[in-house]
Chain A
Amino acid sequence: MAIKRSLKTLRNWAGLHLFLGITSFLMVVPFFWVFLTSFKRSTEIVTETPRLLPMVWTLENYLELPKVAPFVRFFLNSIIVSGVSTVFIAFGSAACGYVFAKYRFRGKDFLFFLVISTILIPLQTYIVPLYLLTWKLGWINSYQGLIFPLIIMSSGIFFLRQNIMSIPDELIDAARVDGASEWKVFLSIILPLSLSPIAAISIVNWVYTWSLFIWPLIVANSTEMFTMELGLMYFQREYAVDYGGIMAACVITLLPVLVVFLIFRTRIIEGVAFTGMKH
């Protein structure tokens, strides 16, 4: 009886791990495939009998990349866009989160509603007026144009507000009684006590802006302003037969995000579960 039961438990256990193992492995098969392919010679890539591992490991595909397209420039552009955006988001979300959590004034609820109400509306739907605005400002094909729609984040403010609410009022009041200005309160109490949620929001925003495609596609129209995503897309279109090069370019676009994800895994999962990685 006891043996029978433990056998059954073992079978359930094995079945569960088989199911989870196979399905989760299938999710990441494309990444392994592209990674291995990027080290193959072109004759091994376009073949009727593909092999899993390269017969000869080569870095050729990677070394050729900077010669055919300015990928270093694309990479730096992406860093600038997502970096500047993230600084704005981190600071703005904390400041607004503080005010919405701790201030009391007339119209606060309305302002909060204004910030939150657009959370579900994707950028794609109002992209035409946003483009016209950028055009009127003379920011087409510039860093300002690429960045400015990305410096606000509804869910970031919401997330910070929830966290700052749990900071005791006594702490803030004590500082105020001591004559600290609001700036001092914000910088020396609110910011240090909110580092963890600010980090979560910043990483999530960095990943989001790094991955954004439709906005750069419309605003950047010369190669110098291309981000990684855009550069990769054009490269793929122009050199459609250079599979080795395309795969290597895919790997270097994926790699920064993968590295950041593996380092900050828990923070990112926490942040995404809350924000959905949307602005």
Chain B
Amino acid sequence: MDGVATQRSGAGSRLRRSQMGFLWGIVMPVIALFIIIRVIPILVVLLMSFTNFNMIRPLVRFLPYQNFLRLFGDPNFVTAFVNSTEFVLIAVPLEILLGLAFAIYLHRKVRFESLYETLYFLPYIVPMVPSAIIWKWIYAPGTYGLANYLLDQLGFPRVGWMSTPQISLLAVIGIHVWKQLGFFVIVFLVGLKNIPTSVREAAVVDGATPWKVTRYVDLPLLKPVILFGVVMATIWAWSAFTEVYIMSQGTDISTGAEIQVMVTRIYAEGFLYFNMGYASAISFVLFIVSLLFVGLQFRLFRVESA
């Protein structure tokens, strides 16, 4: 926030008439849109989770705990919750560690840096639907699919990428990590570039090897950026949808119900069965667990640096 010091209007703290016109003419409508499109729906979803709201049957009843009780006995939800947890626990560390590794290597003043950077970043920028469909084709059974063909060529047994539920879930997590990784490479690389060179030079003068510089200078200074990355990765992993949806669609696949996650449950309950109160309860749980994870991460990072 380097601009805070200069944040001052020549007109003093009273807005002039023309400024008021501008404020109410454009900016307030935009803020009203924020309230209508974001703030109110977020509050409403929390309220709706305590009702049996259903688009087909408009009689609404208040259910103080029934929805949440029902969640625990709902095998579909339990599967989705377990899968999402696995999703987060695998995807987040992979994204952060690989992102850090690539960023640290890229930062060693290599040639073609921008070429490598572009290639890492490409999957992040392209849409998820075609990407997931391409991966589905790579995972195709027999040796039609590239993945099994390569395993065959290397002498490994073929894998039922889309028929063994545990493997299917890992395959989807693979797509997610491949897709998001570029973001973390870029963010960490920007973070590394923002570390003043004088700090690093001082360490080199003291005889530190490149690895020591990374370990004792770069990583500690990068901590806030890493925390930011962990938080983003966690939220995205909890709210994964498209890759799971695509991977569980169609006749060429035999694992659908087994690989569902939180948001695919929200979609199914809300928009296939129109149980919108119940779907909102799943959203509520999603809010709470994401918040818990993020809170925990803030704590862990603070404890470590203390």
Report the bound CA distance from A114 to B45 in whole Å: 18
B35 at the interface (CB under 8 A from A): yes
Tell me how far the C-beta of B33 lies from the nearest C-beta in chain A, rounded to whole angstroms: 5
Tell me which of B74-82, B137-145, B200-208 binds A.
B137-145
A63 at the interface (CB under 8 A from B): no
Residue of B nearest to A168 (CB): B6
Return the contact of A276 from the options B9, B137, B183, B246 (Cβ within 8 A): B183
Tell me which of B85-93, B103-111, B163-171, B215-223 binds A.
B103-111
Is A118 within 8 A of B128, CB to CB?
Answer: no
Most buried by B among A50, A95, A102, A128: A128
Report the bound CA distance from A79 to B26 in whole Å: 25
Return the contact of A129 from the options B48, B128, B181, B246 (Cβ within 8 A): B48
Tell me how far the C-beta of A17 lies from the nearest C-beta in chain B, rounded to whole angstroms: 7
Q: Which chain A residues lie closer than 8 Å to B298 at the CB level?
A: none
Is B235 within 8 A of A30, CB to CB?
Answer: no
Known: A30-B131, A165-B3, A265-B118. A257 touches B45 (CB 8 A): no
Is A214 within 8 A of B23, CB to CB?
Answer: no
Which residues of B, 114-159, contact A by the 8 Å Cβ criterion?
Answer: 114-131, 133-135, 137-138, 142-144, 146, 149
Query: What 0/1 pattern do residues 1 to 30 of B give for CB contact below 8 A with A?
Result: 011101111111101101101110011001
Q: Which chain A residues lie closer than 8 Å to B235 at the CB level?
A: 120, 122
Return the contact of A152 from the options B10, B38, B135, B263 (Cβ within 8 A): B38
How many chain A residues touch the partner (CB < 8 A)? 98
Query: What 0/1 pattern do residues 235 to 256 of A give for CB contact below 8 A with B?
Result: 0110010010011011101100
B73 at the interface (CB under 8 A from A): no
Return the contact of B11 from the options A99, A124, A176 (Cβ within 8 A): A176
Is A30 within 8 A of B138, CB to CB?
Answer: yes
Tell me which of A54-62, A65-73, A179-187, A192-200 binds B.
A179-187
B301 at the interface (CB under 8 A from A): no
Is B22 within 8 A of A46, CB to CB?
Answer: no
- Give the interface size bracket for B toward A: 35 or more
Q: Which chain B residues lie closer than 8 Å to A45 at the CB level?
A: 144
Return the contact of A122 from the options B119, B135, B239, B249 (Cβ within 8 A): B239
Is A273 within 8 A of B190, CB to CB?
Answer: yes
Is A149 within 8 A of B118, CB to CB?
Answer: no
Query: What 0/1 pattern do residues 38 to 80 of B give for CB contact below 8 A with A?
Result: 1111101100100000010000000000000000000000000
Which residues of B, 222-248, contact A by the 8 Å Cβ criterion?
Answer: 231-232, 235-236, 239, 241-242, 245-246
Is A240 within 8 A of B252, CB to CB?
Answer: yes
For the complex with contacts A24-B116, A249-B130, 6 further pairs of A-B residues with Cβ separation under 8 Å are A20-B105, A31-B134, A50-B146, A213-B127, A213-B242, A257-B126
Q: Which 8 A-B pairs have the closest CB atoms?
A: A165-B3, A173-B10, A211-B127, A24-B119, A182-B22, A129-B41, A250-B130, A129-B44
* 20 A-B pairs whose Cβ atoms sit less than 8 Å apart in the complex: A20-B106, A30-B138, A50-B146, A95-B27, A96-B26, A103-B19, A103-B23, A105-B23, A120-B231, A121-B42, A124-B263, A182-B22, A228-B127, A229-B128, A232-B129, A236-B246, A240-B251, A253-B130, A269-B117, A272-B125
Q: Spell out A's residues near B (CB within 8 Å).
A: 16-17, 19-21, 23-25, 27-28, 30-31, 33-34, 37, 45-50, 92, 95-96, 99, 101-105, 111, 114-115, 118, 120-122, 124-133, 135, 148-149, 151-152, 154, 162, 165-166, 168-170, 172-173, 176, 181-183, 186, 207, 210-211, 213-214, 217-218, 228-229, 232-233, 236-237, 240, 243, 246-247, 249-251, 253-254, 257-258, 261, 265, 268-269, 272-273, 276-277
